[in-house]
Amino acid sequence: MAAASNTRYWIAGCTCCLIACVAVAGAVCAIVDREANRLRVRWEESGGLHFIVCASGPVVITHLMTPDKRSAELQEHLLIVDSAGRRLSKEEFDRLRWVDYLGTAVAPPHAGTAIRAVYFRANTAKQELAESS
């Protein structure tokens, strides 16, 4: 009788451990997948920006933002279709019109300032448009 009880505890313990391992593995995979699909923005030595996405393209970039809430709309949206990414030259960057959160014109950020890109995944937008008709 005691052996059967111990066996049940052993099976229950192994089952709980297995469930916990599957949950942890799923969470790790989700984090790794999110990081792999994230758009990266890097400053180049020339003063321009390089936009890189490792997977799940195509991506369309529409705006740039800084942590202090300055933003600029790209005059021509950038389409990224592969892992080579796209570049925005220093000259193109300098031509952008930067505004604060009230819409007042402000000076552009200096090279090296943290920049975030506002973007959407073109394949997702296409699916949403196809479903809405």
Same domain, 56 and 112: yes
What's the rounded Cα separation, in Å, for the pair 37 and 57? Answer: 8
Total-model pTM:
0.66
Same domain for 31 and 47, yes or no, is no
- Identify the band that residue 73 occupies on the pLDDT scale cut at 50, 70 and 90: very high
Q: Which domain holds residue 28?
A: 1-37
CA distance 111 to 113: 6
One domain, residues 45 and 103: yes
Q: Which residue has the tokens 């990224």?
A: 80
Does residue 115 sit in helix, strand or coil? coil
Same domain, yes or no, for 64 and 79? yes
Which has more pLDDT, 118 or 31? 118
Confidence band (pLDDT; 50, 70, 90) for 82? Answer: confident
Alpha-carbon distance of 49 to 93, in angstroms, equals 8
Is the pLDDT score of 13 beyond 80? Answer: no
Question: In the structure, what pLDDT confidence band is assigned to residue 1 with cuts at 50, 70 and 90?
Answer: low
Query: How far apart are alpha carbons 131 and 133 in whole angstroms?
Result: 6
Burial of 120 (0-12, 13-18, 19+ CB in 10 A): middle
Report yes or no: 81 and 119 within 8 Å, Cβ to Cβ: no
Identify whether residues 79 and 111 lie together within a single domain: yes
Asked if the model's pLDDT at residue 4 lies above 70, the reply is: no
Mean pLDDT value across the chain: 78
Mean pLDDT of 71-86: 90
Pair 59, 72 in one domain: yes
Distance CA 71, CA 115 (A): 9
Question: Is 51 in the same domain as 33?
Answer: no
Answer yes or no: do 58 and 114 share one domain: yes
pLDDT digits (tens, 9 = 90+) for 17-68: 666 555 554 544 444 444 445 789 999 999 999 999 877 668 899 999 999 9
Shared-domain flag, residues 17 and 82: no
- Total domains in the fold of the chain: 2
Q: Are residues 16 and 32 in the same domain?
A: yes
